[in-house]
C-alpha cells in the first residue's frame, strides 16, 4: 500500500497510484483525517461521540461500525486497524499523508543544531519541500456541520499548520534574499502575505524586497494597500515601523540593499504567544472577559464550563489575547483535543514551552523548573475527555508554584479551585464575519484559562 496517499491540504482526497478513491461519506473522510493527523489510537466511544454527537452512544457506535465496515470493503483495504476498543490508522499500511510530511520537513530543521529562530543553508531544501506540500489550507472547503467538536479540531489544526507555513515562508524569503535570489524571495513573501494580508511583518518584507530590486512604485503601492486593509478591516493605522519604512522608500532609500530586506521580517523580540489568529470578529462578552482577567489576579486556575457550542474557546482565546501584555513570559495555548492517551498530556504541554526530557530528570521536573520563575499563562483547550489526568498534572504544577495554567501576577500560593465559575451561563456571542473569512466555529469542552 506504499502508493496510497492521503491529501489533507485543500479539499481532502485519497489516491492510490494517482487514481482517486471515493470514500462515499464525509464521515469516512473526517475519520481518516482525524486518525492520520493524530497518529494515535482512539477509543471507539470517543470517535463515535466526535463524529455523531447528536446520537445516543449505541447509535453513534453503530454508525462508526458501519463506516469502518465500508472503509474495509473499499479499495483502501487494511488502512484502518480496529479492535473491540480502539481504532487507529494501520502503521504497516505505509500511507503517505501530506500534512504529516509537511510537519516532518519542519521538524527535521530543528535537528540542525542552531536556534529555532535561525536558518542555515541546509534548511533551504526542507523549507522548499514544506512550502510545496502546503497547496491550500488544511481541509479547505470541508466541514461537518453536525459535529461542533470535529469542526473545533479542524479549525485549530488549520490555524496551527497555517502558522507553521507562515514561518516557513518568512524564512524562505529571508534566506532566498541572502543568497541573491530576489525573485524567489518576492514570491515567498507574496505567499506569506496571502496567508494573512493584515500581517504587517509580511507587508514590510515585501515592501523592502520591492525597493531593493528597484521597484519603488510597487513598494509604495504595497504600503497604500496595507494602509487600506488595516483601515477597512480593523479601523487601525499601520504600525510606526511600517510608516517609517514607507517614508524611507519614498525618499529613495533602501534601493539595492539586500541587507535591508533581510531585516524586513526579523522579529524585534521573541514571540510571546502562540494563539491562533482570529479570522472573524468577536462581538460582546466584555463583562465575561473582564471577569476572567479579574479572577486570574487571585486564582491559579480558572475553568470555563458550558454546553457545546456556547463559545467557551472563542471567549478564552479573546481573554487570553487581551492578557498577553500582562504576562512578561507570554500566554500559551496547549490543544488537547487530538489526544486520547492521558500519558500524552505532559509531553504536549512541555512541547509548548520547548521543554524536553533530559537524562536523569523526569519531564515534569523539567517543566516545573522551566516555569517556576516565570510569569506565564497557559490555556488548556478541550480537556474534558482527559479531565482526571489533566487535573492531576495541573495540581502538581500548582503545588510546585509553577502553575502555568493559572498563575497570576503574584507568586504566592493560592487555594486550588477546579471550577471558578463565571456568575451566569455563557450566552451565545454575536459573531461578525469579514468577507472571505471563515465563520467562527462552535466549540465543546471546558478550557481552563
pLDDT tens track of the chain, all 449 residues?
457 899 999 999 998 888 888 887 999 999 999 999 988 889 999 999 999 999 999 999 999 999 998 887 777 767 888 888 999 998 888 889 999 999 999 989 888 887 777 788 888 899 999 999 999 999 998 989 899 999 999 999 999 999 999 999 999 999 898 888 888 999 999 999 999 889 999 999 999 999 988 899 999 999 999 999 999 988 999 999 999 999 999 988 776 555 444 444 444 445 677 777 654 444 457 888 888 888 888 787 888 877 665 677 778 888 888 888 888 888 888 877 767 678 878 888 887 777 776 667 788 888 888 887 788 888 888 777 778 888 888 888 877 765 444 332 222 222 233 334 434 434 333 333 333 333 333 223 333 33
Give the per-residue pLDDT at 257.
Answer: 52
Give the per-residue pLDDT at 416.
Answer: 31
> Does domain 99-262 correspond to CATH entry 1.25.40.10?
yes
The pTM assigned to this predicted structure is 0.62
Q: Quickly list DSSP for 262-283.
A: HTTS--SS---B-PPP--S-EE
What distance lies between CA 177 and its chain's CA centroid?
28
Q: 18 near 318, Cβ under 8 Å? A: no
Cα diameter, the chain: 71
CB atoms within 10 A of CB 427: 12
| Residue 208 backbone dihedrals phi, psi, to 5 degrees | -65, -40
Which is nearest to 110 in space by CA: 123, 92, 129?
123
Q: Which residue has the cell 489533566?
A: 390
Q: 196 near 166, Cβ under 8 Å? A: yes
Give start-end residues of each CATH 3.40.50.300 domain in the chain.
282-431
Give the per-residue pLDDT at 322.
Answer: 85
CATH topology of domain 282-431: Rossmann fold (3.40.50)
CB atoms within 10 A of CB 311: 24
Query: What's 303's DSSP letter?
Result: B
Give start-end residues of each CATH 1.10.10.10 domain in the chain.
4-97
CA distance 339 to 330: 24
Which is nearest to 173 in space by CA: 137, 199, 136, 155?
199
The DSSP element (H or E) to which 7 belongs, if any, is: strand 4-7
CA distance 41 to 74: 21
- In angstroms, the Cα distances linking 403 to 229, 370, 375, 408, 449 are 40, 11, 9, 9, 11
Query: What's 358's DSSP letter?
Result: B
CA distance 403 to 395: 8
CA distance 195 to 27: 28
| Residue 314 backbone dihedrals phi, psi, to 5 degrees | -60, -45
Give start-end residues of each CATH 1.25.40.10 domain in the chain.
99-262
Q: 427 near 283, Cβ under 8 Å? A: no
Which is nearest to 216 in space by CA: 245, 194, 249?
249
- As given in the structure block, the three cell numbers for residue 137 are 489550507
> Does domain 4-97 correspond to CATH entry 1.10.10.10?
yes
Amino acid at each position: 500500500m506504499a502508493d496510497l496517499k492521503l491529501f489533507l491540504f485543500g479539499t481532502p482526497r485519497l489516491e492510490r497510484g494517482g487514481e482517486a478513491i471515493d470514500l462515499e461519506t464525509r464521515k469516512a473522510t473526517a475519520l481518516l483525517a482525524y486518525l492520520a493527523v493524530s497518529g494515535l489510537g482512539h477509543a471507539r466511544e470517543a470517535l463515535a461521540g466526535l463524529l455523531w454527537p447528536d446520537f445516543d452512544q449505541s447509535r453513534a457506535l453503530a454508525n462508526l461500525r458501519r463506516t469502518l465496515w465500508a472503509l474495509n470493503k473499499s479499495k483502501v483495504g487494511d488502512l484502518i486497524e480496529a479492535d473491540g476498543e480502539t481504532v487507529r490508522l494501520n502503521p504497516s499500511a505505509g500511507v503517505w499523508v501530506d500534512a504529516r510530511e509537511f510537519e516532518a520537513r519542519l521538524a527535521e530543521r530543528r535537528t540542525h543544531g542552531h536556534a529555532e529562530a535561525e536558518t542555515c543553508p541546509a534548511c533551504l531544501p526542507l523549507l522548499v519541500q514544506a512550502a510545496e506540500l502546503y497547496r491550500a489550507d488544511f481541509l479547505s472547503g470541508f466541514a461537518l456541520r453536525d459535529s461542533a467538536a470535529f469542526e473545533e479540531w479542524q479549525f485549530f489544526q488549520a490555524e496551527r499548520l497555517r502558522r507553521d507555513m507562515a514561518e516557513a515562508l518568512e524564512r524562505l524569503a529571508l534566506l532566498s534574499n541572502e543568497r541573491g535570489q530576489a525573485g524567489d524571495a518576492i514570491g515567498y513573501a507574496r505567499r506569506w502575505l496571502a496567508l494573512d494580508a493584515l500581517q504587517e511583518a509580511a507587508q514590510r518584507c515585501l515592501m523592502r524586497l520591492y525597493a531593493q530590486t528597484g521597484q519603488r512604485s510597487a513598494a509604495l503601492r504595497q504600503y497604500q494597500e496595507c494602509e487600506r486593509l488595516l483601515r477597512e478591516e480593523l479601523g487601525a493605522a499601520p504600525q510606526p515601523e511600517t510608516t517609517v519604512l514607507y517614508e524611507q522608500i519614498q525618499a529613495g532609500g533602501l534601493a539595492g540593499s539586500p541587507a535591508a530586506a533581510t531585516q524586513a521580517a526579523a522579529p524585534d523580540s521573541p514571540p510571546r504567544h502562540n494563539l491562533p489568529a482570529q479570522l472573524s470578529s468577536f462581538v460582546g462578552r466584555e463583562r465575561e472577559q473582564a471577569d476572567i482577567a479579574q479572577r486570574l489576579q487571585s486564582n491559579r486556575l480558572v475553568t470555563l464550563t458550558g454546553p457545546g457550542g456556547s463559545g467557551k474557546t472563542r471567549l478564552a482565546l479573546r481573554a487570553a489575547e487581551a492578557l498577553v501584555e500582562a504576562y512578561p513570559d507570554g500566554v500559551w495555548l496547549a490543544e488537547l483535543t487530538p489526544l486520547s492517551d492521558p500519558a500524552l498530556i505532559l509531553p504536549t504541554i512541555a512541547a509548548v514551552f520547548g521543554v524536553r526530557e533530559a537524562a536523569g530528570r523526569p519531564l515534569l521536573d523539567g517543566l516545573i523548573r522551566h516555569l517556576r520563575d516565570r510569569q506565564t499563562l497557559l490555556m488548556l483547550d478541550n480537556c474534558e475527555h482527559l479531565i482526571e489526568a489533566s487535573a492531576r498534572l495541573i495540581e502538581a504544577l500548582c503545588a510546585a508554584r509553577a502553575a502555568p495554567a493559572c498563575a497570576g501576577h503574584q507568586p504566592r500560593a493560592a487555594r486550588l479551585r477546579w471550577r471558578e465559575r463565571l456568575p451566569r451561563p455563557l450566552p451565545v456571542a454575536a459573531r461578525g464575519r469579514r468577507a472571505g473569512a471563515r465563520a467562527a466555529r462552535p466549540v465543546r469542552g471546558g478550557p481552563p484559562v
